[in-house]
Amino acid sequence: MTSPPADQTLSPQTGRGLRADAERNRCRILAAARHLFATEGLGVSMASVAREAGVGKATLGRRFANRDELVNAVFADRMDAYVDAVTEALADPDPWRGFTGYLHAVCAMQAADRGFADVLAMTFPAAKALEARRAEAYNRMLELITRAKDTGHLREDFTHQDVVILLIANAGVVTATGEAAPDTWRRLVGHMIRSFATPDAPIPPLPEAPAPTALYRAMVRLSHAAQDSDVEP
């Protein structure tokens, strides 16, 4: 009987080696994607992720068939923290305080990671596990809103869509201000909480506005980014 070519013969040890290589590549891809998503947002290309990880696009494609699969793997732990935030808010004996604390906590997660800021403001239908956790957090958030309204401190015309609007707005602020004025999001959340509250609600102190020079740097940064995007590749 003719033996198969040497490159098609896999000993158990070689098989384990290939699996170990595959796992190393997967870890490198996840680390690269986590870094790029956190610093640049979800707009980075899959080719950029492969380049950052030091692997070929074919290797990336074998590990993650599409962007949704990669997003699902990168942000699984952060989505768990998102669910934990609303669970902790529901455990607060003061539902209004739990509600305002929840808004601060989630917006802080966005500020800490530009990629996660985008994740909370978008949907990824193919990322089944991530979307399941989002749905879990959403259902708990509805309960939190109802409890906050029962205190008389949250406006009756507030809806769950207003949370989504806040997250979209905060994602934009986080992206726009970047490192130039990194605490600007706190001011946004403070103003939004005031708009959500009834006249007699206890309102947290309004965070200080960013310094004019910091906002100017953020505006210059945005201008440069817009100019760069207009440059033909």
**Does one domain contain both 94 and 56?**
no
**Does one domain contain both 140 and 120?**
yes
Whole-number mean pLDDT of the chain?
87
**Does one domain contain both 33 and 121?**
no
Residue 101 burial by Cβ neighbours in a 10 Å radius (0-12, 13-18, 19+): middle
Question: Look-up: residue for tokens 């802080």?
Answer: 108
**Does one domain contain both 42 and 104?**
no
Closest CA to 169 of 88, 106, 90, 101: 106
CB atoms within 10 A of CB 17: 12
Gap between the Cα atoms of 24 and 47, Å rounded? 18
- State how many domains the chain has: 2
Per the structure, the complete domain to which residue 87 belongs is given by: 76-228
**What are 23-70's pLDDT values in tens digits?**
888 899 999 998 998 888 888 899 999 999 999 988 898 888 888 889
**Does one domain contain both 87 and 39?**
no
Q: Is residue 13 part of a domain?
A: no
Residue 162 burial by Cβ neighbours in a 10 Å radius (0-12, 13-18, 19+): middle
**What are 151-189's pLDDT values in tens digits?**
999 999 999 999 999 999 998 999 889 889 999 999 999
Q: Is residue 1 part of a domain?
A: no
**Does one domain contain both 44 and 105?**
no
Check whether 13 has a pLDDT greater than 90. Answer: no
Q: Is residue 10 part of a domain?
A: no
CATH number of residue 23's parent domain = 1.10.10.60
**What are 115-136's pLDDT values in tens digits?**
888 888 888 888 888 889 889 9
